[in-house]
Chain A
Amino acid sequence: MSAWRSAGLLTGAAITALMVAVALVALVWTPYPPTAIDIPHKLAGLSAAHPLGTDPLGRDVLSMLMAGAHASLSVALIAVVVGAGLGVPLGALAAARGGWMDDALMRAADLAFAFPALLTAVMITALAGPGAANAMLAIGIFNIPVFARVTRGSARGLWQRDFVLAARTSGRGDIAITVLHILPNIAAVLLVQATIQFALAIVAEAGLSYVGLGTQPPQPSWGRMLNDAQTYIFRAPLLAVFPGAAITLSVLGLNLLGDGLQDLLDPRVRRQR
């Protein structure tokens, strides 16, 4: 593995770790309460008291960003958990059974892919009512076919391998083989896919919040901060820069991490060492 690749992995891991740390710290401490309105100090520039300034209602931008990290990451995490939690078993089932079960599940996945994910997530939240919980579900639903496809694709090849035949002659059933032999061998692929889906989920959450369907006020979120900043784009352009940078940085970090992990865990690369 080249030094450049491992630099990407380390950078990605560092950025992701930073985001997670900020989100966790925001649970117990932010410089100001992120929802505290302080009209006299509205639209303050960068200062020692407010390192990233304040918004039109005088709320501290750094505190809002920190609390927003928590909102974004938790929505994205749950969306990925929902997607993987249902998608991986379905994909594994399709690979194990084959035949009509495989056909039916994969055509259902095709059908889900035929809908533009973000637009349908907008529709789901509009129908079910806006809010963080519904945003998690709406994004999670579109992760299910992604994980099902990836799981099925990687598992399918493994089912042809002799060690699976050996497990069958040892009397293992489909479920035992999936748990003991298939999943451990595709864990790396799934982990990489999870980091990519996590990045997409952050963007999706920001998008839903931007149009007002995701995290609801007064709970801060990066997407809504961007929307609020629009009105003041000429008076206080930095208000849009900070949440935009936070979204970009976390997505970049997760993608670098996913890329790096892929190289690290690729069995062909591993075998050469």
Chain B
Amino acid sequence: MSRKILLDKINVPGIKTYEVYRKEGGYASVEKAMKSMTPDEVVEEVKKSGLRGRGGAGFPAGMKWSFIDKKSGKPRHLVCNADESEPGTFKDRYLMEFIPHLLIEGMITSSFALGANLSYIYIRGEYMWVYKILERAIAEAKAAGWLGKNILGTGYDLELYVHCGAGAYICGEETALIESLEGKRGNPRIKPPFPAVSGLWANPTVVNNVETIASVPWIVNNSGDEYATIGIGRSTGTKLISASGHVKNPGVYEIELGLSVYEFMNSDEYLGGMSSDRPLKALVPGGSSVPILPADLIYKTANGEDRLMTYESLSDGGFATGSMLGSGGFIVYNDTSCIVRNTWNFSRFYHHESCGQCTPCREGTGWLEKVLWRIENGQGREEDIDLLWSIQSKIEGNTICPLGDAASWPVAAAIRHFRDEFEYHVRFPEKIKNRNHFVEEPFAQVKHLVTKQTV
């Protein structure tokens, strides 16, 4: 049984309410931080813990905190990014829905560390019921004196608000989130200046994921060094994984980083293996934005080592043979699923969610989607596969924000690892016009039709 940090108390009845949460030792980190530590010491603990941003990029949180401009004298803000919209990721919702006070506690401790007197939780519009849960939790915390003026008699003031987004994936990008929070159209800003210098209302701002902030109370309570003992190398601590797809037990799991992918997939404590006797075909280990892995690269890396659930091991081999941990949206596919259809579905999402500000992403995502739709519906041409490759390479790296990259990586990986499946779609349009074409006839049975025969 592995250590639980975030979901430790999740099964305590009534943990949603303030009374139970407090009785279970909640808000201890706020007391500890405010009474016995200086803000810089809290930042130092987080730095020592090696906690990395859980939103997808994996940037060290302590480092991000230390970049915040404290010299200018402008008011500082902490913004919690709860705009979790990545297809395949639903860990933040689970955390906020079932243990909302953990996030509030993390927000208070983190705001204290950053010297922020006005902090926000930006939650996606579709999580309206979670928004209400958080609102109630904040009201409870405020009534108990954890928020407001002069918290615990230390003279530190903090106001915390939940702001509801309006249903745009792009508002999960930190600068677009800030724009949206300011009441503008959610377009990503051009960096520099980075939010740590000029963010919300041109004030220094730190934007962190829900899970990152929720990890802070434990770090403050148990010290950063203790946190750093969990995990392997630079991947410290625990991570929430949202598992979905063709597995026996889908759901949110807290794992210690460094667990092997094989164990996570097959152990009864976690996913418990595939949902049926159909074999594993592919895996998206970190949400829709990361490259898909074919079956032979899931449990072992290209050089034969065990693949572990860490930032480093999952990206071992670069994009040629690796992927990314991303935000932890673990999507498992068995051989009934069609990679082309799946890629089209992801592309459709990015086409729909592109903000339309910069050219490559605005025009390219739509083009990708249309070409993939044609291939999936039996109207593909042989040159379309190279065309897709060309389009995605032209989007990647040329856009303002990472959405363009996120739109092109899944397409690139699908073509890289499953090119024969694309060829099958192009060459046998009659076969794939059936929506469930791989259910009766998995690709392994028809693969010989597109591979070169050697007699």
A binds B: no
- Which residues of chain A have a CB within 8 Å of any CB of chain B? none
- Which residues of chain B have a CB within 8 Å of any CB of chain A? none
